[in-house]
Structure 1
Amino acid sequence: MTIRFPEPPLGSGAPRRVLMTADAVGGIWDYALELAGGLSRRGVRITLAVMGREPSPAQRSKAVAIPGLDLHHGDFRLEWMEEPEDDLRRAGDWLLELAERTAPDMVHLNGYTHAALPWGLPVLVVAHSCVLSWWQAVHQTAAPVGWQPYASRVAAGLAAADQVVAPTQAMLDALEVHYGPRPRSQVIWNGRDAGTWHGRTGLHQPGSRRGIVSVGRIWDEAKNIRALDGVAPSLEWPVAVAGSWERPDGSGEPPANLRCHGVVPPDALARIYGDAAIFALPARYEPFGLSVLEAALSGCALVLGDLPSLRELWTGAAVFVPPDDHEALTRELKRLIGQPAHLGTLSLAARHRARSYGTERMVARYLNVYADLLDVPQTVPLHREVAAVPLGS
């Protein structure tokens, strides 16, 4: 049963229209549509400005099906890509022109750089991840000096934001380590709809589900799905993965020992989760993990990388393994396979915890943040001082 929170009419402090940015590459797209759908049900219209790769036909169809959502695409490099400075400037002009045409009440950025534009509106920045914290987690060392222009742009954007939100305290802590204290910040958990992600009937009957699944970009060292590929031959159950093994530049190779579904639409992904008993993601870096939440809602037991963010969310409802300890990963997966009662208990705990991270709770928290920002008088552009900071500095 999906819990539905009451939806009161919008008060004077709530926005009527929000300009939101996104990209169509990873989890930010799913997050943006989940949030936009919830906001739409509350009467908020969304102008969704997508940069980077153009949304696929399936992505576009899902977006335009949300009442009150206007989808716009700009073919600009994203801020973490190579030599993005010219594209970031052009994207900034495009976003300001879009704001002038659509007249939003506030701006919700799922990135950093463009918070430093002279919006003259309240600006919220949501910190989903960042290159410096990714690099530190994956390589156990600071990012090379070549990432300094990126770091400067991120720092300028964070400083310009009227509020910063992150999906976990661990991500907020990472921002403080790499960019300094964030006095105007808070945590809002991401959410998924329990009505969309659910397991098959007979969920907890011993032997009713077999198999191990993982979801994510196979080429991404942060997801560490290659670790599963390494241990799969020693396991009794088959191991499958949904996600692309091909890097954006076309390089990469498929896993040797995993059944690879490739990139699949949500309905097919829901079936893949629903047929598996265990979801394994020995990640080295994961600021939240929407795939973990989807799998937990689907009734999978969780075996996760031992990270502060994942412990923050799933302590007591998951098994944790050091990301690069293949022996520990093998041992825990074999233990769950061989102990059906323990597997069932863990899957129930994960599903119960997952219901804490619902869409409506996420939407309500964001509406509170929006209302607080709109209570601030906007008599002059808020970012006049930082607007002069070159985006490529």
Structure 2
Amino acid sequence: MSPDATPFSSETQAIHSGRNIDPATGALTAPIHLSTTFERDGDGSYPKGYVYGRSGNPNRDALETALTTLEKGSETATFASGSTATFSLLQALGPADHVIAPQSVYFGVQQMLSHIFAPWGLRYTLVDTTDLAAVAEALRPNTRLVLIETPSNPQLAVTDIQAIADLAHQADAYLACDNTIASPVLQTPLTLGADFVIHATTKYLAGHGDVIGGAVVTRESNPLFAQLRLVQTIGGVVPSPFDCWLTLRGLQTLPLRVRAQSQAAQSMATWLSQHPAIEQVLYPGLPEHPGHEVAQKQMQGYGGLLSFLVKGDQDRAMEVAAKTNLIARATSFGSPHSAIEHRASIEQGTQTAPNLLRLSVGLEHVDDLIADLEQALSR
């Protein structure tokens, strides 16, 4: 039975999907194919299936196969970054099309829509995607794509994937779900009705903070994905063979890492919610979180990312972040090392609260992380 078959668990698929024993050497770990071009036969054909590095590469094919399997899709296109993955999906639309996106969508996507695609002619509406009535009201005859991010970054808002998919499909629109924070270990949007899953593979999928990448997985063949593949190939916005190799290596430990980080984040969120210096904790695993019930329905764990609002202003939040010793002051998330960041100073002009700190829980012992936060929160 193929390791890409669905009866296998995610742990087994993460290790075996997309991988084959090297026929030339018997190596269990695939070689890195750095060649930019491939030999043609005398009749002009390409018997090995590869023409040029921009249009195809064995390492990229292996990664795309693995991601397709883990997300339970039919095909994957990988990109040089998560932002490029989203950018390329938007670029596959037409200039007269309309997109619905969350008010709390990732800051970089807001910039794409307002500074690049709006001048190009793409129309968009930002709504609270946790409010089904607001999404329904925002739909237009020319709406072609509804974009959601659940849980969202850095608000950790939870959107009902299946309910939004039903609304989008009733309007003949596609639904794309950014699944970066949950990962396919905790959530598989394609099985809930989404048409596309977007990933910044930089985060949990690669998992070691040493490679940037992105991906779009489609549930089934459709015209928009075909156009996306054209953007990928002609535009050349592809990951390098080494980037693909590193990401595929990281996938092998994905289920173990994500479950450990999710468990630690749950403990830290519970501890923070009871701390006298904390105003609010944003984490779907807490019963008081407004999206907790939906998260219980569509997730198998709540992820390793959380945000919390300290009591006080921006200066107080910056002071807390400055005092951590074990937890690094750095952007991004999903790596083995924990990181804390003041997001409002990064996301100029957004609705992110000035006293919000985002915490990416790594693989350190949770007791050590709590102790570090405890001393940072003390005056």
Q: Same fold (TM over 0.5)?
A: no
How high is the TM-score relative to the length of structure 1? Answer: 0.29
* Structure with the bigger percentage of helix: 1
